Every structure is written in C-alpha cells, then in structure tokens.
C-alpha cells in the first residue's frame, strides 16, 4: 500500500552523452527546500545482496507480479526477462519491436504487463519525434502486442486504478497519458527531465524523479498537472547524482536510486532524504516485491545498467 504522508507543498552510452548536454542547459522549476548530501537512514546501510544477473544487459524497467516473479527489460537487446526467484536464471520471454530500446514496465488493469519501448537515440528529440511506444505482454503466453505509440518516451511508467497510464522522458519535457482505450495525450504534463514515475495509492499524485535538469523529486497533481510540486531539490555534491527510477514505500515515501553517486535514497519529508544503501553505481530503478515467495513483499530490489539485480536490506518495508 502506498499512502502519501505530505500535505501540499509549494543505453548506458546514450545516457552518459545526453547527460552532459542536458546538464549544460539546467533550468529551474519551483524550488521549495534545498537539500545537501544525505546521512544513512536509521537502521539502514547494510551491504546490498546480489540476487540476479542478466549478463551483458543494461536493465531499464522492472516489475514484480503477485507471485513474486520479477520482470526486467534490457535497453540493448530490447528483451524482457523473467526471474522466478532470487538466484534463479533470467529467462527471456519477449522482445520489443525493433529489437532494442526496451524501457519501463507497469501492470495494466487487464493483468497484462505494459512494456515501454523506443528508448533509443531518438528520445533526445522525443518531444518532437515522439518515438515512445507501449506494448502489452501476456505473461502467461509470452505474446507481445503493440498497444500505443506517439509518446515522447516511456522511461518511467505507471497505471492508475482506472487503467490510465502515465509515461515520462528524462531527456525531454513531455509526460504522456494513455487511456485504456488506446487514446494518447502525449503532452498531458510538462516537466523537464522527468524520469521514474509512480502513482500514490489514491492516484492523486504522480511522483517523478528529475534526472538531469534541476535534479530532485517532484509530484504532479493528477487533477492539475500544470502545478507540479517539488519535494526534493539537490545541491552540492548531489547535484549530479542523477536520480532515476523511483518507487514509494508503504508510508508513501519516495525511494530513489542516485545513479551517479551509487546510492539508494529515501525521501522522508520535503527536502530531507537519507541513504538506504551505497556502492551501487549505474542503478536505474528500484521496486518492492509482491506475494509471499520469490521476490516477496516488503523486500526492496534494485536493477542497474550493469545487468545486476540487488536486494537492499536497509529498505525492507514490513
């Protein structure tokens, strides 16, 4: 369960190249409280535990089903992999159209797994070219069916209770909205470098990490997408930390990997964050498990562009 605790507050290579270009043109959005380098979270700081690996892959998206099976995507090969439990081999189950650029994952209201793709060099001009697309994966049969296209990208992806999906582009400014019937609103909201995307439990807010431009974390009111609220603004040594694909814990606190710093952070209150784990450069996304077996509920897992999957003991949420 994800409950918001806050009131209203006012390809590995591709990413490396684009980060330099985007950081040269940093812009500012509404700035609440400013943060600095973070302390270790109380009770956290344990070493991460390697629980899976996809050799040669750059992992971008991750999702866990109700049975505790973990799915992840590879930017390089465009494949979707499944791991049935920690320590199990990664089994390829599908490949996105075009054979590369697989992006975010999210569960659709019909039980299928939404797979973002088109995460190639075109995302640098994603707001103009709109190469982002989403397919539906039937995890029982392995059938992958194109669903929608015309998005700036699908680097971050989540779905609300009504079946409406939201997709982001950390190299652009447009956040797209996709209705269950396939209608696409490519510029539902505008926020520079919105990356990871996760909805609060009541679907009132879409939480996003800001990776390259004014790095930090924001939440966007679904009812008023033009009024984004910054929860965390980074400064000092963390300015270039590159927050990536985030999730929320059971108390509604954003948990976000700092790609460049190699840390996993938890945002405890506006402007306040702490370190759950360190020593994990190239982290791309974090996710909580589900179910009673496999990648089970309460356990926090990290994927990365190094092809590795780690459990973060300090992030346990039970």
Residue 218 CB partners (closer than 8 Å, separation 6+): 29, 191, 194, 207, 208, 210, 228, 229, 230, 231
Task: Please give the Cα distance from 198 to 202 (Å, whole number).
Answer: 12
pLDDT of residue 19: 35
Residues of the chain with confidence (pLDDT) below 50 = 1-34, 36
Residue 64 pLDDT = 98
Give φ, ψ of 34 to 5 degrees.
-100, 140
pLDDT score recorded for residue 120:
84
> What integer pLDDT is reported at residue 7 of this predicted model?
40
Amino acid 148: pLDDT: 98
CA distance 52 to 307: 9
Q: Which pLDDT score is estimated for 123?
A: 87
Rounded CA-CA distance 145/3 in Å is 33
Using CA atoms of 252, 266, 316, 2 in order, give the dihedral in degrees to the nearest 10: 10
Give the contacts of 102 (CB within 8 A, at least 6 positions apart): 60, 61, 73, 74, 75, 77, 78, 79, 80, 95, 96, 115, 116, 117, 119
Nearest CA among 63, 72, 115, 68 for reference residue 91: 72
């Amino acid at each position: 369960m994800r409950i918001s605790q806050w009131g209203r507050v006012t390809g590995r290579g591709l990413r490396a190249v684009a980060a330099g270009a985007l950081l040269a043109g940093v812009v500012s959005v509404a700035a609440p409280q400013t943060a600095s380098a973070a302390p270790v979270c109380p009770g956290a700081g344990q070493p991460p535990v390697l629980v899976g690996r996809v050799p040669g892959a750059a992992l971008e998206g991750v999702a866990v089903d109700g049975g505790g099976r973990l799915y992840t995507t590879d930017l390089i090969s465009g494949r979707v992999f499944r791991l049935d439990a920690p320590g199990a081999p990664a089994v390829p189950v599908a490949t996105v159209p075009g054979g590369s650029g697989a992006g975010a994952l999210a569960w659709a209201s019909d039980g299928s797994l939404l797979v973002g793709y088109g995460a190639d060099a075109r995302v640098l001009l994603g707001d103009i070219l709109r190469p982002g697309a989403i397919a539906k994966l039937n995890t029982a049969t392995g059938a992958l069916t194109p669903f929608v296209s015309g998005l700036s990208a699908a680097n971050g992806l989540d779905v609300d209770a009504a079946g409406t999906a939201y997709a982001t582009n950390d190299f652009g400014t447009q956040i797209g909205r996709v209705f269950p019937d396939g209608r696409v609103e490519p510029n539902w909201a505008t926020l520079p470098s919105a990356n990871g995307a996760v909805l609060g439990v009541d679907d009132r807010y879409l939480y996003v990490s800001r990776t390259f431009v004014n790095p930090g974390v924001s939440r966007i009111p679904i009812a008023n997408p033009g009024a984004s609220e910054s929860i965390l603004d980074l400064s000092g040594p963390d300015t270039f930390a590159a927050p990536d694909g985030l999730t929320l814990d059971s108390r509604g606190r954003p948990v976000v990997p700092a790609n460049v710093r190699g840390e996993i952070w938890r945002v405890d209150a506006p402007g306040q964050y702490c370190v759950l784990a360190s020593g994990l450069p190239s982290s791309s996304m974090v996710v909580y498990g589900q179910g009673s077996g496999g990648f089970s509920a309460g356990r926090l897992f990290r994927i990365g562009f190094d092809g590795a999957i780690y459990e973060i003991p300090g992030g346990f949420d039970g």
